[in-house]
Amino acid sequence: MRRLGFAALTVAIMSGGAFAQDDDDEEAAFDEALRNFGVTAGEAWGCSAEEARSEVEQNVLRAHAGVVRLFGLDRGFAFAAAFGAGAAVPIAPEDCPAQIAAFEDGLAAARMPE
């Protein structure tokens, strides 16, 4: 009986490790998606005409505030750093409509209010 209890405990601990691994994978995937969205936001800002930049900036600030509120300062910083990286990348003018659309799609998917 004692061995059965030890075996059950071992299985429980090992399966908990597997769940922890799944959680780590999900966290890493979320962080990567957040960084990609930040880069896309920066590229959309860089592609925007001067007169449209303030609207993009407002949307980026709302997205950043939502990230900080829901996921904390570390992830908010990661989003902001990714935005800066995306804004620094020169985008070919013919690729700009796709970048702006990708950012707008990301906002819509996150249900960011206007």
Element (H, E) at 24: helix 2-47
pLDDT score of 67: 93
For the chain, the average pLDDT equals 83
The verdict on residue 12 lying in a domain is no
The verdict on residue 60 lying in a domain is yes
Task: List pLDDT tens digits, range 20-39.
Answer: 567 788 999 999 999 999 99
The verdict on residue 6 lying in a domain is no
The verdict on residue 15 lying in a domain is no
- Asked if the model's pLDDT at residue 9 lies above 50, the reply is no
Cα(44)–Cα(100) distance, rounded to whole angstroms?
A: 5
The verdict on residue 19 lying in a domain is no
Give percent above pLDDT 90 in the chain.
69
Residue-number span of the structural domain to which 78 is assigned: 29-109
Cα(79)–Cα(74) distance, rounded to whole angstroms?
A: 9
pLDDT score of 109: 86
Task: Please count the structural domains in the chain.
Answer: 1
